[in-house]
């Protein structure tokens, strides 16, 4: 399975289960992401733990998803971004567009903390 989905309360985690995410998979992932956005999910995390590399087309899919979700009042966050993918984000200047977290757990917790700004845990 190239992609898998998990639910944590009102947070959808879309995991990329590929070592290399490229233009070949971008269309399928775009469809999966848009499906969740169209279903009304507003909190989406793309977990890149298993993905060591992504190309610019796949990155474009993430940016497109971020834009669509933002237009609907939602947020898309990234977790577990490997070094080669971080380099692509930095070179393209797109790391500033995304909230990026070290782990999936950290990303999930960031949504919970955003509901309670007084939380200092």
Could you read off the pLDDT of 59-107 as tens digits, one per residue? 999 999 999 999 999 999 999 999 999 999 999 999 999 999 999 999 9
As given in the structure block, the two tokens for residue 84 are 């080669």
Q: Which of 50-54, 102-106, 114-118 has the lowest mean pLDDT?
A: 114-118
In a domain, 74, yes or no: yes
In a domain, 111, yes or no: yes
DSSP E strand boundaries for the chain: 3-8, 11-16, 20-21, 43-47, 53-54, 75-79, 99-101
In a domain, 85, yes or no: yes
Host domain of residue 101: 3-115
In a domain, 66, yes or no: yes
Domain containing 78 — which CATH number? 3.30.750.24
Instruction: Go through 14-33 and write b for each residue having 16 or more CB atoms within 10 A of its CB, e for each that does not.
Output: bbbebeebeeebbeebbebb
In a domain, 120, yes or no: no
The pLDDT mean for the chain works out to 92
Count how many Cα atoms sit within 13 Å of the Cα of residue 4 in the half-sphere of its side chain: 8
In a domain, 121, yes or no: no
Quick: pLDDT tens for 3-38. 999 999 999 999 999 999 999 999 999 999 999 999
The structural domain count of the chain equals: 1
pTM: 0.91
């Amino acid at each position: 399975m190239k992609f898998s989905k998990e639910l944590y309360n009102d947070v959808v985690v879309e995991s990329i289960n590929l070592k290399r995410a490229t233009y070949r998979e971008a269309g399928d992932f775009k469809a999966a992401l848009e499906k969740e956005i169209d279903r009304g999910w507003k909190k989406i995390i793309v977990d890149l733990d298993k993905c060591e590399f992504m190309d610019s087309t796949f990155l474009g899919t993430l940016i497109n998803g971020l834009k669509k979700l933002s237009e609907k009042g939602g947020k898309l966050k990234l977790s577990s971004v490997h070094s080669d993918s971080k380099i692509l984000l930095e070179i393209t200047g797109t790391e500033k567009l995304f909230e990026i977290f070290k782990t999936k757990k950290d990303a999930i917790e960031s949504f919970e903390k955003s509901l309670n700004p007084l939380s200092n845990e």
